[in-house]
Chain A
Amino acid sequence: MKSILLLSLPLALADGSQKPIGDAAWALPRGLNPALSDKYRPDASQTFSCLTNPQISFPISLLNDDFCDCPDGTDEPGTSACSHLKASVNPLPGFYCQNKGHVPAYIPFGRVNDGVCDYDTCCDGSDEWMGVGGVKCPDRCDEIGKEARKAAAEKRKLFESGIRSYNKLVAKAVLVKKEVEDKIVSLTGEIKRYEGLVEEKKAGLKKAEEEEKLKLARSGAKGEEGKSTHQKLLDYSKEKVQDYQQKLLKLVDEAQRLREELEKTEKILKTFKEEYNPNFNDEGVKRAVNGWEDYLASKSQEENILSGDYLSEVTDLAYGHHNWEDYEPEEDLAQDMYAIEAFLPPFLRTIVHEQLSSLRQSLVEYGLLAPRKQKPSAKSDTLSPHIQKLTDDLTATESSLASKKTELANLQTDLTKDYGPESVFRALKDVCTEATSGEYTYSFCHLGRATQKNRDGGSTHLGDWTGFDRRLDDEIEQEVTVIKFEKGLRCWNGPERSAYVYLRCSAEEKILSVAETEKCVYKYVATSPAVCGEIAAEGQEGITMGGATRQVN
């Protein structure tokens, strides 16, 4: 869209070999940019030299005679005669439409005198000067120029308000960042304090535990170990039965869940078999259908054990209540060997306890002794409420400390993350935009997730925010900021979905279009004030090259 090519041309060709002569009757050749008129003024011999092949010259009458004489095509700035030449050969970018009342533009030579009024480039209709096939292209530059100026003004307005919004966003982003930094400072302080607290509480707990042990040693332990064998057996049975009941319940639940899943899967396969597109196409599909049929044929016809009487039986077992009181024994004073511990001094007690435990473990391993009850509350039973409180307190403090540390780390990482120029996207965190395109509604949330929703309410994860990129937005021919959303739901037989949001500057957060450019790759075009800063420096537009880009080959 820039006029670089055009502007560089006269310089490149300015060798001064041709001396323009004053000729009042001379008119600018058709289709020529007036900036190049000096190159085309006839010399004394009334010849014209091809611009890039000055050794080749022709009588001036062959200029714009609708026949291509010059190898570089420069003898035909106003016709399509040299349109067959590659654009890289011809230094003229195209037919120059003056477009008085609007902005001048070049149209490719192939579009000169082809019977189409290319008003989007040549609003003055000068490209169809021959009127081939009776075509008439009256000058519409007044009207088109007016519209264009209006549109440009609107665009500028939008752009300006975009910049204002951008500045606000940046200000907000600064605040958000400041908040983070403040938070870091306060967190760092708190962490220090919590570290002190943890140490303090650890010491307190240790002290309390030792006191407790002493107390225990003095009063003589009377707990588990003091029970009679009968009582132990009873306790053991009680717990075992409860344990088995719980496990059975879990199994029943699990079986039911599996059965539901199986039913669901079978339903899928049943529908699959009924509805599949029995396309010749795919052997895999046929194999799946055959496999399903085989499965159905061989499926056990026996009654499902999770139904009917059997189930109620199992349920009874699981929920059955046993009257344990009936089996309560007389107080048995027999003590088990553990009781001895109580009479030992603390340092010996630990050693004996360890020895006993390992002995017990060996016995259990060799099947000589039943394993010890796994009572979750066992510990609390043995711990005094005081110790318990201290322990809980310590744990809570430690966990607070850990979470604060994590939070700090996150905040520190956050500070180093790329949030775009001037960290502007910080201000848009969790701002979401959505738009309907065809049968889907697409959305994306800044620094969050992109989603595709269908009309039934189903939603597909297109990807999570992974950062920024710069890419060409080919519609406006500008490189723009692209937000990347990646690692979305994997496509059937394809890649993980991803979405790329191409941003254009505007005050409003809005999705303009969504397209699936490749299988499972979505291209959003959206507007956001967040990108208004980066293109604020765009200069004045040059002479446009209508319709086609110049091919350099």
Chain B
Amino acid sequence: MRVSAISSPKSTAGGLTILLLLLDFIAPAATVKHENFKTCSQSGFCRRNRAFADHALAPESNWVSPYEIKEDTLLLQNGVLSADILKTVPGQSEKVVLPLNINFQKNGAVRVTIDELKRTKGDIVLRGESKARKERYNEAERWALIPDWDVRDDKVVYDNRKGQVTLTFGPESKYKAIVTVYPFNIKFERDGETHVVLNDRGLMNVEHWRAQPPEPEEGKEKSPEDLDGGWDETFGGNTDTKPRGPEAVGMDISFPGYDHVFGIPSHATSLSLKTTRGGEGAYNEPYRLFNADVFEYIVDSPMTLYGSIPFMQAHRKGSSVGVLWLNAAETWVDVVKEKKTKTDTKTHWVSESGQLDVWVFLGPNPATLYKTYGELTGFTKMPPTFAIAYHQCRWNYVSEDDVKDVDRKLDKHDIPYDVIWLDIEYSDSKRYFLFDKLAFKHPEEMMKNIDRNERKVVLINDPHIKNTEDYSVVGELKSKELAVRDKSGDIYEGWCWPGSSHWIDSFNPAAIEWWKSLFKLDKFKGTAKNTFFWNDMNEPSVFNGPETTMPKDNLHFGNWEHRDLHNIYGMTFMNATHQALEARDIGKGKTQRSFVLTRAFFAGAQRIGAMWTGDNEAKWEHLQAALPMLLSQGIAGFPFSGADVGGFFGNPSNELLTRWYQSGIWYPFFRAHAHIDSKRREPYVAGDPYTSIIRDAIRLRYTLLPAWYTAFHRASKDGMPIIRPNFVVHPDDEEGFAIDDQTYIGDTGLLIKPVVHEGVDKVDFYLGDDELFYDYWNYKVYQGKGRHEVSAPLEKIPILMRGGHIIPRRDRHRRSSGLMKHDPFTLVLVLNKRGHAMGFLYHDDGESFDYKQGAYINRQFLYNGSLKTLSSRDIHKDRAAGAAYRKDSKALQIEKIVIIGASRSLDTSVLAKGKSKAKAVLVEEDDGKIKEWEAGLSYTAALDGDHADVLVIKNTKLKLVNDWTVYLEQVGRDADKPKDEL
């Protein structure tokens, strides 16, 4: 309910300003404003480099790449091969010197960095009165990579012959980098095959610095150094002054024999990337990476969105490799495929400025690829438990009464939730850090009330800071000089929600320290330990800026131009908030895990928080677009991702809303959100049957929280995506490589194909192998690689359980995840063809950092179908360090063990007839003592030949923290009564 205390401006017949504000929300035709964003041809360096590529690739051009290694500069030292590359410039005798470094990492990753000597020396003249730095930007690694990423391979073998340098490196020295001196290129081999080639097609292009040539005299041709779009460039009424002139870097990267490439999120497109040079089913524009606030984005487009991760995976049967284009400037990526006997995928990367910095990963499979990538950019942060539960959001819950009402109604309808969110209207006239005095008179009390059921409040906090008198935050920002500056070095002023605003320069360490001080509980009045934050508009979104963001010639800390680091800005802001939250003393000197949701991101943001796919729409095609986008996030190492459930703009039909919840419970980040102009749509609004169906869906999410948490733990350790597409789980199943409308959840073997079309009552699952798959709800068995139809009426979420896995659950229904912490677990054993199953459970307190000191439980469960035993094994890295936490967690039990497909392991024919008395003997080691007891069994025979039977071991009283084994014994005599007690 929107209590009118701060009634939305729209509905107030107030003055003109109010009217004007409204104009922002009118969307006559709901579609992206294409004209607000550049196409490649409107972006000078993209246009140039595409033309460059067209020229080089034209058969008649006989193109030879003008880059050559100066052989006498080659030096391998300490795992780094360095050399000078010389660029020949037509009509000039002097060659441009480009220092090359190839850094070989112990884990097999290779970094190729190319800089420009003149620029490193500062030996250039800037146009205008620019105060910008002269070097090419070389600090992307400070943000994208973890601090101690540089672990060199000390066993690189160097071999130089006939203009070719071969370097053997990597795990077991299986990798080779073959560097050709002229024309310069690098081939990466593994197992005797070439997987990645840099400058394969000679599209490498480092635009060296040159002074702007004078206008040619009448009738004379332009100087070849006078590059098209290389100087002042105007778009949408904004002029970019480009103090360093043209300075783009480009490189082509080929993946011979690879038919599929994935990654480079965020784009509203298919998981397997389409080609970009036209033709049927292809795009005409390159994929663009330039964080931007794209209003009402369209689906199926290579257009840029809110965040960028320049990581690409190439996959084929038997191999997975990847590249990271470590550049934070505006970037475009062309993808083409060449079909010979095999298909080669060839890509072309261009960035506006900065060093040429490419990382190559040679796999060999998806799991190792993600691990290697994560070892550099970091793994997913272990979130607090509430963060993976259900989030109830809306722009806006407008008052504390409103918050109370939503909280009360969700409880009344018995719908669990963990977090209620407050969008910008919580603030006092868009001055963040201040609650609206009228609508939120008692925020502390509100926080306390929400905390009663262990729930949290998330407040929005954006990087634009209102430029107004009487606002201490902006006063400090100015006096401490912590804001982003314009090209002349003055504080930059632009427009965002509050009107005139300044932007925090979160690249500045002093700005981070200051930001941290603002979040202290005694400083940010009204917040409490259960208050967390959401960073929106951090692309940054500037309403009156070029392409709705900052001018590229703005200046940041260290006088780096905004151009150089644009795509990283959002992450630095999110980082500042994250640091502030983790530094926050929540009482008695204690700290806790942060939770920050961001809209803008870059490689490495996974170490900080969660992202969502921005302002989607309440349309079926946006529901369809969400899953591929989130799968892509997982590929690119940032799996903690979600899409607004229900669709941000517009009003979903009850069916769409219901289907979206059924889909959204499988997003790693699960939040419902809605635009201020949309109708209320909290789960209880629609009424039955929708409300009940949505409640069941949300409950299912809660039931499976142990599985989700375990999947997050794995992502935090080795980078395995939390939701996984077919090709990750079945890397050799070629038919399944492009499948992106179904997903596996962690290691659970749960396979979900959400219904994302209107009026549909069945789905077509694709099974990637011949394993048994069981319907989650009725145990119907599906087997055989390929398509299988599964019914999916509105009330049913299509879920299959793949044989061979053990799924941990917590079945008791509670109001929030926090209130589940004492509850017992259920283990669901899904037997595979041979009757076996395996699974994992990771558990910790879900809020503190104690897990880093070993305060966690990590178990592996193994069911041996031949021996008919289920055992729980401790896989804690340091058992001793976990002892105290184990002791604290003694009360946690396994209440129930469900064996699906029991007949795969047990002779159930006798069970079914009640002739046999089976029993479960439980043996547990508790505090060094061996205990043994029996537990009851309950058997449900298969419905028919198409279904599986189920055996339940009841009320086991097994302790989660202990090692134990369950022996299933069948005693061949008639069953005693009662019949149901087997």
Query: B543 contacts the other chain (Cβ, under 8 Å)?
Result: yes
B955/A65 in contact, CB under 8 A: yes
Contact for A516 among B2, B955, B980, CB less than 8 A: B2
Q: Return chain A residues, CB-CB under 8 Å to B23.
A: 276-277, 279, 282, 284-285, 288
> What separation, in Å, do the CA atoms of A437 and B452 have in the docked complex?
27
> What separation, in Å, do the CA atoms of A8 and B15 have in the docked complex?
59
Query: A483 contacts the other chain (Cβ, under 8 Å)?
Result: no
At the interface with chain B, which of A30-38, A112-120, A199-207?
A: A112-120
B7/A132 in contact, CB under 8 A: no
> What separation, in Å, do the CA atoms of A283 and B295 have in the docked complex?
11
Query: A523 contacts the other chain (Cβ, under 8 Å)?
Result: yes
Contact for A522 among B4, B10, B24, B955, CB less than 8 A: B4
> What separation, in Å, do the CA atoms of A437 and B3 have in the docked complex?
8
Contact for B822 among A114, A454, A456, A552, CB less than 8 A: A114
Q: Shortest Cβ distance from A229 into chain B, in angstroms? A: 62
B896/A57 in contact, CB under 8 A: no
> What separation, in Å, do the CA atoms of A114 and B820 have in the docked complex?
7
B402/A515 in contact, CB under 8 A: yes
Q: Return chain A residues, CB-CB under 8 Å to B293.
A: 280
A84/B703 in contact, CB under 8 A: yes
A282/B27 in contact, CB under 8 A: yes
B395-426 interface with A by 8 A CB criterion: 398-399, 401-402, 409, 411-414
Query: B812 contacts the other chain (Cβ, under 8 Å)?
Result: yes
B661-701 interface with A by 8 A CB criterion: 677, 679-680, 688-689, 692, 695-696, 699
B822/A280 in contact, CB under 8 A: no
Contact for B13 among A56, A460, A517, CB less than 8 A: A460
Q: Return chain B residues, CB-CB under 8 Å to A86.
A: 696
B27/A115 in contact, CB under 8 A: no
Contact with A along B819-833 (1 / 0, CB 8 A): 111110000000000
Q: Return chain A residues, CB-CB under 8 Å to B14.
A: 454, 458
B11/A494 in contact, CB under 8 A: yes
> What separation, in Å, do the CA atoms of A489 and B10 have in the docked complex?
12
A454/B12 in contact, CB under 8 A: yes
Contact with A along B781-820 (1 / 0, CB 8 A): 0000000000000000000000000000001111100011
Size category, A interface: 35 or more
Q: Return chain A residues, CB-CB under 8 Å to B11.
A: 491, 494, 497, 516, 519-520
> What separation, in Å, do the CA atoms of A442 and B5 have in the docked complex?
10
Query: B26 contacts the other chain (Cβ, under 8 Å)?
Result: yes
At the interface with chain B, which of A267-275, A345-353, A417-425?
A: A267-275
Contact for A548 among B12, B413, B688, CB less than 8 A: B413
A489-543 interface with B by 8 A CB criterion: 489, 491-494, 497, 513-520, 522-523
B6/A439 in contact, CB under 8 A: yes
Contact with B along A93-132 (1 / 0, CB 8 A): 0000000000000001111011110000000000000001
B10/A517 in contact, CB under 8 A: no
A437/B822 in contact, CB under 8 A: no
B438/A87 in contact, CB under 8 A: no
> What separation, in Å, do the CA atoms of A113 and B25 have in the docked complex?
47
Query: A245 contacts the other chain (Cβ, under 8 Å)?
Result: no
Query: A427 contacts the other chain (Cβ, under 8 Å)?
Result: no
B815/A549 in contact, CB under 8 A: no
Query: B36 contacts the other chain (Cβ, under 8 Å)?
Result: yes
Most central of B7, B398, B401, B955 by chain A CB within 10 Å: B7
Once A83-B812, A271-B16 are accepted as A-B contacts, the answer to whether A438 and B5 lie under 8 Å apart by CB is yes
B1-46 interface with A by 8 A CB criterion: 1-8, 10-17, 19-28, 33, 35-36
Query: A377 contacts the other chain (Cβ, under 8 Å)?
Result: no
Q: Shortest Cβ distance from B546 into chain A, in angstroms? A: 10
Query: B491 contacts the other chain (Cβ, under 8 Å)?
Result: no
A276/B28 in contact, CB under 8 A: no
A133/B821 in contact, CB under 8 A: yes
Contact with B along A453-497 (1 / 0, CB 8 A): 010101010000000000000100000000000000101111001
Contact with A along B343-381 (1 / 0, CB 8 A): 000000000000000000000000000000000000000
Q: Return chain A residues, CB-CB under 8 Å to B499.
A: 275, 277
Query: B981 contacts the other chain (Cβ, under 8 Å)?
Result: yes
Query: A80 contacts the other chain (Cβ, under 8 Å)?
Result: yes
Contact with A along B513-533 (1 / 0, CB 8 A): 000000000000000000000
B8/A519 in contact, CB under 8 A: yes
Q: Return chain B residues, CB-CB under 8 Å to A518.
A: 2, 679-680
B3/A514 in contact, CB under 8 A: yes
A437/B4 in contact, CB under 8 A: yes
Query: A67 contacts the other chain (Cβ, under 8 Å)?
Result: yes
A438/B16 in contact, CB under 8 A: no
Contact for B22 among A67, A280, A489, A492, CB less than 8 A: A492
A491/B10 in contact, CB under 8 A: yes
B954/A67 in contact, CB under 8 A: yes
> What separation, in Å, do the CA atoms of A520 and B895 have in the docked complex?
51
> What separation, in Å, do the CA atoms of A456 and B581 have in the docked complex?
40
A277/B21 in contact, CB under 8 A: yes
A514/B954 in contact, CB under 8 A: no
Q: Return chain B residues, CB-CB under 8 Å to A489.
A: 13
Contact with B along A338-363 (1 / 0, CB 8 A): 00000000000000000000000000
> What separation, in Å, do the CA atoms of A548 and B408 have in the docked complex?
9
Q: Return chain A residues, CB-CB under 8 Å to B895.
A: 66-67, 81
Identify 13 residue pairs between A and B in the complex whose beta-carbon atoms are under 8 Å apart, listed by A's number. Answer: A69-B938, A87-B414, A115-B819, A280-B543, A282-B24, A439-B5, A452-B7, A454-B12, A454-B14, A460-B12, A520-B10, A548-B412, A548-B414
Closest 7 CB pairs of A and B: A438-B5, A67-B955, A553-B692, A280-B548, A278-B544, A132-B822, A515-B3
Known contacts A285-B24, A438-B5, A489-B13; 11 further A-B pairs (Cβ under 8 A): A58-B981, A80-B813, A114-B819, A132-B822, A132-B891, A276-B20, A280-B548, A454-B14, A517-B1, A548-B414, A553-B696
